[in-house]
Structure 1
């Protein structure tokens, strides 16, 4: 198996935020929809969301698998065991993250997952902004049974897993040696989470990512602004289409960076993307 996958931990109600982070509005979508979409663009296998038992979630892409923790109160390791266990038959490695990462970039996810080799390590653990980042890290899916044993022994912290595993620490300079990541996310804001209302508002008030939009075929002359590529700011495909005068209504498809054909307007965009809109109708 060479396929990669992703696990997103939905979390529950945040005592600081006063509401579940998963449902926070994010440029016409939700934070969970955004993060799962970014992770999904970065991997070639399934995306799993692990939630607290019975936790309501906002609408997600139908391809996302939603699983429940078997019990509450056992922290992120419980969600990690559930997610990795579900993915073990599909992929060898998975990127694991929390739901509160508004600036997560596709290039960051891929940079982490590329650090896995055929013989190891078991965990790729970024060390960014002075802290290790277990919720933006890579894990081998075969770790699920070991995590379950730790949970049964009352060892609930990620540090307990790191002590029992082959961990590769990934420093900032090594991450930024990846030219794609260095260009797309030079400050490594992919690891920045939002824990307070003020942090969320500040993140939400920032401009949407800058992307390049192209229109082809019968769409080339629609929407005004002349032919050729245009730079716009948009957080998802629907917003990008609107910026160039198109309606993303099923008659239009989008190719992201030349190879990801999408028809869902809520597919998230990240800085540096190129979006090509094409007609879905025959002859377009």
Structure 2
């Protein structure tokens, strides 16, 4: 039976995932300057225009390196990857939804984030994009609803830590990106060079 009214969306916080060790890249991905400032701050600024509170998720040893004008959120669940950051965010505010964005997507823009927010379905435990490469949910640009927190804890307690597998096992809303390149992850120097060329072309074309 279809309910008469849809759930009222809870307030939305933003979380920048910047705690990775960037082994394949060779340098920290969160401090790469693609658009005039370090990527962790660029994403935080994008989220600040769209979300209530914004935090930069980091390892405890990174905290002192983060500009104090930004709110740092050290991982409370170490060695768990992105899911540790998501759980740490819910640990401080369980009644908020969280728009979680990885710092390694230099082509992501406010338009893509705004579309995700406008398409948010609070009746699902998450609203996310479809990864254009494999058609699977992209957990690193996702709105996680408060109802997902207890399910995430159960998932972790079962010995699993892949946020993508979690999304594949639950009721979610998934969107196709208008511009697939906006979801491009940059994990290696070769991919970084590719993105630099793409950005140069955009600048030349006046995009």
Q: TM-score range by the shorter chain?
A: 0.7 to 0.9
Which residue matches 1:94?
98
What is the distance in 2 between the residues matched to 1:19 and 1:129?
26
1:22/1:159 Cα in 2 relative to 1: closer, same or farther (>3 Å)? closer
1:191/1:87 Cα in 2 relative to 1: closer, same or farther (>3 Å)? farther
- Residues 1:111 and 2:119 aligned together: no
Which residue matches 1:16?
24
What is the distance in 2 between the residues matched to 1:155 and 1:25?
33
Which residue matches 2:162?
157
Is the 8 Å Cα contact of residues 11 and 20 (structure 1) preserved in structure 2? no
Which residue matches 2:85?
79
What is the distance in 2 between the residues matched to 1:38 and 1:208?
22
* Structure 1 unmatched ranges of 5 or more: 177-186, 211-232, 234-270, 272-284
TM-superposition CA deviations, 1:205-228 (whole Å, max 9, x none): 523977xxxxxxxxxxxxxxxxxx
1:5 to 13, 21, 28: 13
1:162/1:27 Cα in 2 relative to 1: closer, same or farther (>3 Å)? closer
2:131 to 128, 131, 147: 128
Aligned length: 195
Matching of residues 128-207 of structure 1 within 5 Å? 128-131=131-134, 132=136, 133-162=138-167, 165-170=170-175, 172=176, 175-176=177-178, 187-205=179-197, 206-207=199-200
Name the SS of the counterpart of 1:136 in structure 2.
strand
1:60/1:190 Cα in 2 relative to 1: closer, same or farther (>3 Å)? farther
TM-score, structure 1 length as denominator? 0.60
TM-superposition CA deviations, 1:60-100 (whole Å, max 9, x none): 472x32111124321211111112333434x3x32211111
**Higher share in strand:** 1
Is the 8 Å Cα contact of residues 101 and 142 (structure 2) preserved in structure 1? yes
What is the distance in 1 between the residues matched to 2:24 and 2:191?
11
* Structure 2 unmatched ranges of 5 or more: 1-8
Is the 8 Å Cα contact of residues 34 and 102 (structure 1) preserved in structure 2? no
In the TM superposition, what is the alpha-carbon distance from 1:135 to its structure 2 partner? Answer: 0.7
Is the 8 Å Cα contact of residues 35 and 99 (structure 1) preserved in structure 2? yes
TM-superposition CA deviations, 1:171-230 (whole Å, max 9, x none): x2xx54xxxxxxxxxx332211211112223323523977xxxxxxxxxxxxxxxxxxxx
**Higher share in helix:** 2
Name the SS of the counterpart of 2:174 in structure 1.
strand
What is the distance in 2 between the residues matched to 1:71 and 1:136?
20
Greater Cα radius of gyration, structure 1 or 2: 1
Matching of residues 31-110 of structure 1 within 5 Å? 31-41=39-49, 43-55=50-62, 59-60=66-67, 62=69, 64-89=70-95, 91=96, 93-110=97-114
1:162/1:12 Cα in 2 relative to 1: closer, same or farther (>3 Å)? closer
